[in-house]
Amino acid sequence: MKAEEMLQKLLSDYTEGGSNIAPNTVTFNTTLSSWARCADRIKEAPQKAEELLELQVHLIDSGVLDDTARPDSQSFAAVMSAFARSNQADKVQQTYRLLHAMLSGIADGSVSVGSNLVVPFTIVLNAAAFSKPNDKTSKESIAGNANGFDIGEEATDDVYTIALQTYRELKEDTFHIGCKPDHMVFAAMLEVLGTHSHPTSIERRQMVQIVFEDACVAGEVSRLVIASLFRVSPDKEFLASLLSSHELAEGVHNVDELPRSWTRNVSYNFRYLKRPIDSKRQQQEQKGHEP
């Protein structure tokens, strides 16, 4: 890949004394993001991205590069995105492993804090939402592909469980990073429920209600949350009970139709739906899932 070639050339010139211009965090992140963008087309992209991240860490630890090249949360997010966008069967497990590696690095000071620490959590949830139901990979297999990053003793190999745990860890601020779920997290978690729970199950009803109520309390009910809610709600009556209105259950054009307390933290760009969301699609999906 061209971006990788340019980075390696810059690094080679610097280490061999031919140039005094050293790659920095932005240089590495740009290349890592390039690998992420082509991960759906290039099979080895996730591994190449993680190898580059490992090289970055090694160059810092060995003193070849200074702190201006230290990996940050965006570095890890780029590698996580490469796995999430790939067709690897264990992409959820790999993104979760990297999330915890990033959090450990932030805790010990080896990883800098980037612009938005919520993004890596969202990547794990999106990876789970677009994974096959009941997709599992053994912990031993994941650890074997860990490329030097510890997977952790409490790791699980179940996609749905990983998603639930990721959501809980962010919601409860388990790692004391001072972040809370935003509307993209709530929408992604609803999509996870749509993929990994049966449309008529008690599990889906309970979890959809919990996630939507979390979004309401946070004031983060955006058009993304509403679109996901309509898609995964078991039936129109359940949807009406959540929205407190049978009229709203028939269709929502923009979030301003909802209580202000639910939407107070939603930016303008995510208030208006591109098209009305109604319950017909959800009912059709339910029929498609019936045994």
Are residues 152 and 186 located together in one domain of the fold? Answer: no
Residue 244 phi, psi dihedral angles, 5° rounding: 60, 25
- Residue at 230 is within a domain: yes
Per-residue pLDDT 10s for the chain (291 aa) are 789 999 999 999 988 888 889 999 999 999 999 999 999 999 999 999 999 999 999 999 999 999 999 999 999 999 999 999 999 999 999 999 999 999 999 999 999 998 899 999 999 999 999 998 754 443 443 344 444 444 344 445 699 999 999 999 999 999 999 999 999 999 999 999 999 999 989 999 999 999 999 999 999 999 999 999 999 999 989 999 999 887 888 888 889 999 999 999 999 999 887 665 655 544 454 444 443
Are residues 72 and 207 located together in one domain of the fold? Answer: no
Contact at 8 Å (CB) between 119 and 185?
A: no
Domain hosting 66: range is 1-158
Contact at 8 Å (CB) between 268 and 223?
A: no
**Residue 241, exposed/middle/buried by CB under 10 A (0-12, 13-18, 19+)?**
middle
- Residue at 135 is within a domain: yes
Are residues 150 and 188 located together in one domain of the fold? Answer: no
- Residue at 287 is within a domain: yes
Are residues 29 and 110 located together in one domain of the fold? Answer: yes
- Residue at 172 is within a domain: no
Are residues 149 and 248 located together in one domain of the fold? Answer: no
Residue 277 phi, psi dihedral angles, 5° rounding: -100, 125
Contact at 8 Å (CB) between 221 and 215?
A: yes
Cα–Cα dist 248/72, whole Å: 43
Are residues 2 and 140 located together in one domain of the fold? Answer: yes
- Residue at 51 is within a domain: yes
Are residues 261 and 150 located together in one domain of the fold? Answer: no
Are residues 142 and 209 located together in one domain of the fold? Answer: no
In the chain, the number of structural domains is 2
Are residues 4 and 101 located together in one domain of the fold? Answer: yes
- Residue at 23 is within a domain: yes
Are residues 126 and 45 located together in one domain of the fold? Answer: yes
Are residues 114 and 247 located together in one domain of the fold? Answer: no
- Residue at 137 is within a domain: yes
Contact at 8 Å (CB) between 71 and 56?
A: yes
**Domain boundary pick from 127, 158, 189:** 158
- Residue at 166 is within a domain: no
**Domain boundary pick from 158, 190, 209:** 158
Are residues 32 and 134 located together in one domain of the fold? Answer: yes
